[in-house]
Amino acid sequence: MIPEKEITIYDIAKSLNISAATVSRGLKDHPGISKLTKKRIFDAAKDMGYRFNSLASNLRRQRTNTIGVIVPRLNSSFMSDAIAGMEQVANQAGYNLIISQSLETVKKEVENSLTMFNNRVDGLLVSLAYNTQDISHFEAFIKKGIPVIFFDRIFEHIKCPNIIIDNYQAGYEITKHLIAEGGRRIMHVSGNQSRNVYSERFRGYRDALEEFNLPFSDELLIVNNLTALEGIETAVQILSMEKKPEAVFVSNDTCAVACMLELKKQGIKIPEDISFAGFNNDPIAKVVEPNLTTINYHGEEMGELAANILIRHLTNNLEIGPAHTTVLGHELIVRQSSTKKII
Amino acid sequence: MIPEKEITIYDIAKSLNISAATVSRGLKDHPGISKLTKKRIFDAAKDMGYRFNSLASNLRRQRTNTIGVIVPRLNSSFMSDAIAGMEQVANQAGYNLIISQSLETVKKEVENSLTMFNNRVDGLLVSLAYNTQDISHFEAFIKKGIPVIFFDRIFEHIKCPNIIIDNYQAGYEITKHLIAEGGRRIMHVSGNQSRNVYSERFRGYRDALEEFNLPFSDELLIVNNLTALEGIETAVQILSMEKKPEAVFVSNDTCAVACMLELKKQGIKIPEDISFAGFNNDPIAKVVEPNLTTINYHGEEMGELAANILIRHLTNNLEIGPAHTTVLGHELIVRQSSTKKII
DNA sequence: ATGCGCTATGCAACCGATTGCAAAACTTGA
DNA sequence: TCAAGTTTTGCAATCGGTTGCATAGCGCAT
């Protein structure tokens, strides 16, 4: 089965006795081409089994209609929501998504950004790896005027718009809630403090404690990678504490749930002995018993918004002016894990 | 800030007084180019800030090093795992992933496949939408010799390799387990029967019933879209049944969990009154109380395998011979939702 | 007739890497 | 010194759509 030759606009041109330029314009619905000619072109294209060659078009136009996406992991509830949102918007606008994951390592993030650069994506949507400290690997894009937009795990840069939620405020609210429910000794389990999301939530937590004159000590803060495994370790650590906390605010749901379950297994009553709060509103938060108090966070919306902002830049060919931060709303969702009284 | 001119191999050639052909070969580490020349080329490329232009390369070579992925949804636990697996393998092998979702509609699936076709992906990895009945939209690929590989939700086609688990066997095992635990009247909640995964699981369920001489009646089968919402509806339906089932096998975990929770809310005891089993081993299965018996299903591995098979085809330029079905293993994971005795 | 203004189409030069074939440069042996 | 062999490099066509500019064709008014 020899794959038959590809039909080009030249073939169509020849068969209609017109020029390739006219065919090109006709297919693009250029106003300068007469109705009749257009119809003949479209008919011939269909007849002959023409397929548009975006490779050639890309080369000539120096654009790819492709958006690069770099995220820490694809398979987290939040990220897959965000990507689903991006895909919808991008698809609608005629863009493709090239997706890669850094697996939380700077090395892969750098490699991926280089691939994206060589593949000449028109723009980039990025959520940073756990310990990316500088973003020099994105400078090449910035220098060329290729928009780089950060979402969720961001880096402040004058040329990079970013989209976040108010992590400080969310951390503050949830801590305040735990205090209102009677917590005095409130622990916080957080991630790498060089990442905005975690340091901001921590800051909110600290400020809430301070506002209510509650003391903070290093013993109350655990920093890890917020995996389920580390949730269990955290539980062990809590069990070994002389003075146990009355409440725990964990910076993501996965870790919070694992920790809760382990504590339950060891006979701790939640929320009676220790109340819990997480972050993200993953599906498991609604399922664990008691249901987990958490911050709801619109992944899909964030993805859509990021894609929209990028595409707006691309279609209007905007200079990336002094960068713009978009703050999306979030909601404290109070569930049984943090309410001492039965609802 | 005027973006400075792109450096091409011609610029490098000029600066070194050699030909562009030599530069091209040098950069590709072609054996015919001397060590010294190569070094000079690489140095000059670095100095001048050259970046490889894959657009030009793609056009000339008629390849894109890009793999298209079409899935029903990006944000399901299984799919995001599968995609994560694909990304790793593809990335490793120097391929990019273009990802799109059909949102379970044939219309979008067709559109997306057309986009992929025009964008000249080198191959396609597909998991079909809920009610895709024919795959004529993939014929164009097949005719051109572009490999199309189905995974999980497949379609039998002589030219398309596919990767699945043994859904029949899994459905059979899980039903048999429910029977062994004392179930006689066992319901099954399934999805669209024209999709292999659901019809096969149903078939396994039927055969298990038959083997143990348990009667099947239409009342025992509910077909819906397996969403959480429909899980709740299913619970309502079960509550209204005169003769309630002793066990329920639901074809995914999301729906199973929603149904369980609703029944619990209405005072049904699980597994004492009704035992439950799901499918997929989503994170929620391990968290819901009682923990949900389910089939574990290696999404990431399936993604990796699909990508590997595709890439092997691409690098060896294999004819897609009589299609090859790869069956991945699965495991029945027994948890408390189906075990009458306390563990 | 002549000229003006429009519309519709064509010319030809891109975009930049790749590659078959030819040829130059260099080695080696007689 | 010359021929044959090997290594290294260059020529030029190619991939196929796009687009600035030129021009042909036509209607209409003077």
Task: Identify the residues numbered 35 to 64 in chain B whose C-beta atom is closer than 7 Å to any atom of strand D.
Answer: 35-37, 56, 59-60, 62
Strands (DSSP E) along chain A, which ranges? 66-71, 96-101, 123-126, 148-151, 162-165, 186-190, 221-223, 247-250, 275-277, 294-297, 325-328, 330-333
Q: Which residues contact B327 (CB under 8 A, 6 or more apart)?
A: B163, B164, B165, B166
A80: chain B residues, CB-CB within 8 Å = 74-76, 79-80
B100: chain A residues, CB-CB within 8 Å = 87, 91, 96-97
Interface test with B, best of A74, A252, A318 (most B CBs within 10 A): A74
Output the six-digit token pair for B207: 């055969």
The residue among B298, B303, B295 whose CA lies nearest residue B279 is: B295
In angstroms, the CA B328 to CA B81 distance is 15
Residues of chain B with CATH 3.40.50.2300: 65-164+299-326, 167-297+332-338
Q: CA–CA distance from A194 to each of A8, A297, A323 (Å)?
A: 53, 21, 21
Which nucleotide is the nearest neighbour of A6, by CA and C1'? Answer: D16
In angstroms, the CA A168 to CA B165 distance is 45
Interface test with A, best of B8, B60, B81, B87 (most A CBs within 10 A): B87
pLDDT of residue A324: 86
Q: Which fold has domain A65-164+299-326?
A: Rossmann fold (3.40.50)
pLDDT of residue B2: 42
Q: What is the mean pLDDT of residues B115-136?
A: 94
Average pLDDT, rounded, for chain B: 93
Which nucleotide is the nearest neighbour of B32, by CA and C1'? Answer: D8
pLDDT of residue B321: 66
Q: What is the mean pLDDT of residues B81-99?
A: 94
Q: Give B170 CA → D27 C1' in Å.
A: 77
pLDDT of residue B340: 73
pLDDT of residue B319: 64
Q: Which CATH superfamily is domain B167-297+332-338 in?
A: Response regulator (3.40.50.2300)
A24 beta carbon < 7 A from strand D?
yes
- CA nearest to nucleotide D15 C1': residue: B60
The residue among B85, B80, B100, B104 whose CA lies nearest residue B226 is: B104
pLDDT of residue A208: 97
Residue B284 contacts residue B257 (beta carbons within 8 Å): yes
Chain C bases under 7 Å from protein CB? 7-12, 14-20
User: Percent of chain B at pLDDT above 90?
Assistant: 87
What is the CB neighbour count within 10 angstroms for residue B166? 15
- Ordered per-residue pLDDT tens for chain A, 343 residues: 344 678 999 999 999 999 999 999 999 998 889 999 999 999 999 999 999 999 999 999 999 999 999 999 998 899 999 999 999 999 999 999 999 999 999 999 999 999 999 899 999 999 999 889 899 999 999 988 899 999 999 999 999 999 999 999 999 999 999 999 988 899 999 999 999 999 999 999 999 999 999 999 999 999 999 999 999 999 999 999 989 999 999 999 999 999 999 999 999 999 999 999 999 999 999 999 999 999 999 999 999 999 999 999 998 766 666 778 999 999 999 999 999 754 4
A98: chain B residues, CB-CB within 8 Å = 66, 96-98
For domain A9-52, give the CATH number.
Answer: 1.10.260.40
Contact B84 A62 (CB under 8 A): no
User: Which helix (DSSP H) or strand (DSSP E) does residue B123 occupy?
Assistant: strand B123-126
pLDDT of residue A60: 95
Which nucleotide is the nearest neighbour of A22, by CA and C1'? Answer: C9
Per DSSP, the three-state class of A103 is coil
Residue B92 contacts residue B84 (beta carbons within 8 Å): no
pLDDT of residue A2: 42
Q: Which residue has the higher pLDDT, B87 or B2?
A: B87
pLDDT of residue A316: 79
pLDDT of residue B343: 42
Residues of chain B with CATH 1.10.260.40: 9-52
pLDDT of residue B131: 87
B24 beta carbon < 7 A from strand C?
yes
B145: chain A residues, CB-CB within 8 Å = 1, 3
Residue A147 contacts residue A123 (beta carbons within 8 Å): yes
Model pLDDT for residues B149-202, shown as the tens digit of each residue: 999 999 999 999 999 999 999 999 999 999 999 889 999 999 999 999 999 999
Model pLDDT for residues B255-266, shown as the tens digit of each residue: 999 999 999 999
Q: What is the mean pLDDT of residues B314-325?
A: 75
Q: Both ends of chain A: CA-CA distance in Å?
A: 69
pLDDT of residue A342: 47
pLDDT of residue B341: 59
